Copies of this chain bind each other. A is one copy, B any other.
Amino acid sequence: MYVGKVFTPRLLWHFARRNLLRSLLISVLACVLHQYAGWRWLGISFIPIATIGTAVAFYVGFKNNQAYDRLWEARRLWGGITNNSRTFAALFISLVPDKALQREFLYRHIAWVNVLRLQLRKTIPWATGREHLHQTFLGEKHELEQFEAGLKKIFGDAGTDEYFVMLRQRTNIANHLLKKQIHELGRLKRAGRLDAIEHSDLVKQIGEFINHQGGCERIKSTPLYRQYSIFSRVFVVLFICLLPFGLINEMSKIGAHGVWLTVPFSMLISWVFYTMEQIGEFSENPFDNSMNDVPLSAICTTIETDMREFVGDTEMPAKAAPLEDVLL
């Protein structure tokens, strides 16, 4: 999650590079042809282009809305995981006084949270955005290459390495951790350590975790429908390419050299439209290792701290803080 508060040149550059160049080229070309080659017919009326502009602004607005909703739903799902973790832990501790069992269940829960985080950060080639856009962030900050190492560490921390060996074969490890929780709750019930209602309530909490996990996987594996997102980009680029031709005429009314104002104005207007489009594009995949991701690491740390404080640990993981204005 990007948390910078001001508009920095770096941000500008990040969002605009390619487009500014394209816009510069087209508008300069248009002006040169108009002025020196005498192709006056390049200077068409602005009004039809304004009509496209309005329609495109609608369309982009619609897409941004959907992208925002995806991001916010993802955030809500992880908020739900946080809340339910607290309820599950507090309830379990109040019902099962055995400290060792408490630790076993809550450490397994912490493992699940972290495994889910790693799984969500894996790249699904056909579902991710265009990779080259996230390259700079991919290269340095994320934990992906170390997926196995990460897993190993999680289970090592919890002192259950044999688990890791067993689970790594599975398609969906997080899934099996939750199944294990339900399984162990069933065992506690049969052993008479949980009554029917207590067991039912605790299982319902795990059911919620399954729902949250499934919700995240749904967002991850269902990119913003391509028919919507591709054409958003195509329309904006089309509008940007037509823009200089609509401006030439308006600008040439000012006087001899007015035509050259087409260049900066093309760049400005195209920048506004292109940036609007990019904002949605950069937000549509909330689990894509980009700077606008849901801050999974920070949330996992919060959950881990809560669990450990509940169970009486004194050593806590370091609190997550934004790094270079990005909270991971």
Contacts and interface: CB of A to CB of B under 8 A. Distances in A.
Interface of A: 1-7, 11, 40-41, 43-59, 61-62, 64-66, 68, 71, 75-76, 79-80, 82-83, 86-87, 89-91, 93-95, 126-127, 129-130, 170-172, 175-176, 178-179, 182-183, 185-187, 195-201, 203-204, 206-207, 210-211, 213-215, 217-218, 222-223, 225-228, 230-231, 233-235, 238, 242, 246-247, 249-251, 253-255, 257-258, 261, 265, 268-269, 272-273, 275-276, 279, 282-283, 292, 305-306, 309-310, 316, 319, 321-322, 325, 327
Given A54-B51, A90-B182, A305-B171, A242 B268 contact: yes
Given A231-B279, A269-B51, A279-B231, A58 B56 contact: no
Given A79-B218, A211-B83, A322-B126, A265 B226 contact: no
Nearest to A184: B94
A37 B68 CA distance: 47
Contacts of A1: 222, 225-226
Which 3 A-B residue pairings sit nearest by Cβ, starting from the closest?
A: A94-B186, A83-B214, A45-B250
Contact of A175 (B40, B54, B306): B306
**Oligomeric state, in copies:** 5
Contact of A210 (B83, B213, B230, B246): B83
Contacts of A206: 87, 90
Nearest to A226: B2
Main secondary structure of the interface of A (DSSP, over half): helix
19 contacts: A3-B226, A5-B130, A5-B230, A40-B254, A45-B250, A50-B50, A51-B53, A53-B54, A54-B55, A55-B272, A68-B225, A68-B228, A79-B214, A80-B214, A83-B211, A86-B210, A90-B178, A95-B186, A175-B306
Given A207-B87, A253-B45, A272 B5 contact: no
A58 B59 CA distance: 9
A286 to B, nearest CB: 10
A137 to B, nearest CB: 14
B251 A44 contact: yes
